[in-house]
Structure 1
Amino acid sequence: MITYGCQTYTWQMNLNCYQDKLTAILDVIQQSGFRGVEAEVFMLGAYYENPKLLSGDLAERDLRLAALTLAEPWLEMEETAEERANADKLIRYLQHFPEAKLILVQLPGKDHMNIASRQQTAIACANAIGKRAYEAGITAAYHPNSPSGSVFRTEEDYGILFAGLDDRYVGYCPDSGHIARGGMDPVKIFTEQMSQIKHVHFKDYDLQTSEWRTMGKGTIPHPELISLLKQSGYQGWIMVEEESAYAETHPDEATRENGRYLSQL
């Protein structure tokens, strides 16, 4: 069964207004017809020190924690002491939500200098974290992104990533928008990597204008991707993550529009 949820990056783009507002965000997600939430750690606010509080507030809204995201630079072949402490704290937290995934994201740099080295350090750290998560009963998945300073952005980069990830411990979290923005065909990437997909992100992108769009208003064939996932037997989350200019100023309204779009599918 495929279940739909929201990634809180939609609100994170306007962090000054929405940090420490996860409770209100949960209300919008629930009202929009979604069933779960994924957040970067710093969006949790006080919930990060009190997993029972989060569990209770999710249950009140008939929502589930789908995943939490760890975003770090990972510029050395081993995690720094701070990076390791952050990862281990998150793994311990997720043990209160054993069905939720640990999503790993390398923070983009400012440029592509030393890209080969940065690719290898990201892979090494992701594999190490994934192994510790696996030993703690948590499923981890790597999420490539597409800003200009990202190290896994193009089809060539993806080949390096998939060759390096240890699939015993780290799965793949495809993001339809980032794939398209990197010049690739989302259907092709999903098809080729289906066996490694553990978690999914959807966001729409217009290839003609090179702009993020609200779901259904871009050029990415999300209905085809949904059919492909269903035919493959995928049973997991699809998280809608909006990055459009409209969502940056109107995240609640954009989320409601996305909910209506998905209900029509």
Structure 2
Amino acid sequence: MTTARTVVGNLCLGSAPDSWGVWFAEDEHQVPYTRFLDELAEAGYRWLELGPFGYLPTDPRRLADEVGSRGLQVSGGTTFGALHRPHEWDDMVATTRRVAELTAAVGAHHLVFIPPMYRDEKTGAFTESPSLTAEQWASFGQRANELGRILLEEYDVALVLHPHADSHIQTQDEIERYLNESDQRYANLCLDTGHVAYGRGDAVELIRRYGERIGYVHIKQMDPVIIDQVYAENLGFGEAVKRGVCVEPPAGVPNPAEVIDALSELDAEVFVIVEQDLYPCAPEVPLPIAIRTREYLGTRGLAGTKRPGAGS
């Protein structure tokens, strides 16, 4: 039986549209953003990540009103981009600027940057090679640094790159290579514990070895049985999600208690955002899971509402 613990003072709990089955700006299988915000507040969360650009309002005043009227605050924005494709650089920077501008306008200072998947999200078909070439790796860190410098200097927003299943930053080796080839001043890590487990990495080891590079966290658990199916059957991430690879804590891997304990030792205040990939799901599914997840994490001390960087 889990017992209550003292609140972990350096960690701040939030959630994201992903936990309501939202992967796209628009999709018939997703709940309206107003329902997401209403249920997020009802579930007891006070911080939210914006999710895919365009799902929530993109007008800063309207977004601020929608969020503030429900007693919510924004922890960070979310964007997607391919640092390994130089021909897409200009368009990617332009898109990232739009997201950073909105993120900063609502008082947030983190931008979660998600690399593209090399398999189609819905069909699982390969769209490019699962491995980067030596030439692509050579410039990956440099582009991350340049993008991070733009965001920090012009928007006061920190770039935190998010490892993702079926992307080129998925395995432990790929995550460490990105960290070793990028500059801590400009490009750091959004540690997604579930995607690290999906890539058969060790989130706790990453926290202990690269704690100073972890600027933001997605806390997520994966079913190890379905992970084994992924590798045995060569499944795409979309199919794995349909089979239920993402599970609510404390089921699955990694052990959320061990993750929280490791994060509590960091000399920094960190947003910890709940994510459970549920796309597609019935509209009534997310809210009970969100409530149970918040309650469970609260028993592990993860219940803070303080804004990181705001002091005691």
Same fold (TM over 0.5): yes
- Distance across 2 between alignment mates of 1:8 and 1:122: 28
1:63 to 56, 59, 72: 72
Long gaps (5+) in structure 2: 1-9, 119-125, 228-244, 301-312
Deviations 1:115-135 (A, max 9, x none): 134545543432222110110
Structure ranking higher in helix proportion = 1
Which structure: larger Rg? 2
SS of 1:91's equivalent in the other structure is helix
- For 1:17-36, what aligned pairs fall within 5 Å after superposition? 17-18=29-30, 21-36=32-47
1:260 to 295, 300, 306: 295
Q: 1:115 to 1:253 in 2, by over 3 A?
A: same
2:93 to 78, 84, 91: 84
Aligned counterpart, 1:104? 113
Give the Å deviation of 1:95. Answer: 2.6
Q: Report the residue type matching 1:133 in the other structure.
A: L
Aligned counterpart, 2:48? 37
- Distance across 2 between alignment mates of 1:3 and 1:254: 19
Q: TM-score, normalised by structure 1?
A: 0.88
Structure 1 contact 5–238 (Cα < 8 Å) conserved: yes
Give the Å deviation of 1:113. Answer: 4.9
SS of 2:95's equivalent in the other structure is helix
Aligned counterpart, 1:141? 160
Deviations 1:204-231 (A, max 9, x none): 1122342321121113211121122122
Aligned counterpart, 1:193? 210
Task: Give percent identity, aligned residues only.
Answer: 19
Q: Report the residue type matching 1:62 in the other structure.
A: G
Give the Å deviation of 1:263. Answer: 2.6
Give the Å deviation of 1:142. Answer: 0.8
2:265 to 201, 207, 231: 231
Aligned counterpart, 1:94? 103
Q: Which has the higher contact order (CA 8 A, sep 6+)?
A: 2
For structure 1, which segment, 185-194 or 253-262, has the greater mean C-alpha deviation from structure 2 after superposition? 253-262
Q: What is the aligned-residue RMSD (CA, Å)?
A: 2.3
Structure 1 contact 98–138 (Cα < 8 Å) conserved: no
SS of 2:50's equivalent in the other structure is strand
Q: TM-score, normalised by structure 2?
A: 0.75
Give the Å deviation of 1:51. Answer: 0.8
- Distance across 2 between alignment mates of 1:130 and 1:85: 13
